A and B are shown apart, each in its own frame.
Chain A
Amino acid sequence: MTKPIIRIKNISKSFGAVRVLDGLSIDVMPKERLALIGPSGSGKTTILRILMTLERINDGHIEIDGEQLCHMERAGQLVPADEKHLANARQKIGMVFQHFNLFPHKSVIDNITLAPILTKGVAKPIAEKRAMELLDMVGLADKAKGMPVELSGGQKQRVAIARALALQPKVMLFDEVTSALDPELVEEVLSVLWQLSTETDMTMLLVTHEMGFAHDFAHRVLFFDRGKIVEEGKPGDIFRQPKHERTQAFLKKILAAGHRI
Chain B
Amino acid sequence: MVESLSLILRGLQTTVSLTIFSLTLALVVSFLAGLGRLSKNSAVRAAAIAYIEFFRGTSLFVQLFWAFYVLPFMGVELSPMQAAVLALGFNYGAYGAEVVRASINAIGRDQWEGCVALNLNYFQRLRHVIIPQAIVIMLPPFGNLAVTLLKSTAIASLIALPDLTYQAQLVRNQTGQTLLPFAIIMIIYFAISTFLKSGIQLAERRLGADRTQPARSA
Contacts and interface: CB of A to CB of B under 8 A. Distances in A.
B213 A149 contact: yes
A138 B120 CA distance: 24
Nearest to B123: A118
B203 interface: no
Interface in A101-120: 101-105, 114-115, 118-119
A13 interface: no
Given A114-B118, A164-B117, A150 B214 contact: yes
Contact of B133 (A99, A104, A115, A167): A104
Interface residues of B, number: 21
A167 B212 contact: no
Interface string A81-124: 00100010011001101010111110000000011001100000
A164 B132 CA distance: 21
Nearest to A110: B128
B94 to A, nearest CB: 28
A95 B121 contact: no
A114 B111 CA distance: 14
Contacts of B212: 104-105, 147, 149
Interface in B110-149: 110-111, 113-114, 116-122, 124, 128-129, 132-133
Contacts of B128: 114, 118
Contact of B119 (A97, A101, A150, A167): A167
Interface string A155-197: 0000000011001000000000000000000000000000000
B120 A118 contact: yes
The winner among A52, A95, A114, A118 for most chain B CB atoms within 10 A is A118
Contact of A103 (B111, B119, B214, B215): B111
Interface in A45-93: 52-54, 83, 87, 90-91
Contact of A115 (B113, B118, B122): B118
Nearest to A90: B119
Contacts of A87: 119, 121
A4 B124 CA distance: 32
A159 B116 CA distance: 17
B215 A115 contact: no
Given A105-B212, A149-B213, A91 B119 contact: yes
A54 B132 CA distance: 23
Contacts of A147: 212-215
A146 B132 CA distance: 18
Interface of B: 110-111, 113-114, 116-122, 124, 128-129, 132-133, 211-215
Interface of A: 52-54, 83, 87, 90-91, 94-95, 97, 99, 101-105, 114-115, 118-119, 145-147, 149-150, 163-164, 167
14 contacts: A54-B113, A83-B121, A83-B122, A101-B114, A102-B114, A103-B111, A114-B120, A114-B128, A115-B119, A149-B212, A149-B213, A149-B214, A163-B118, A167-B118
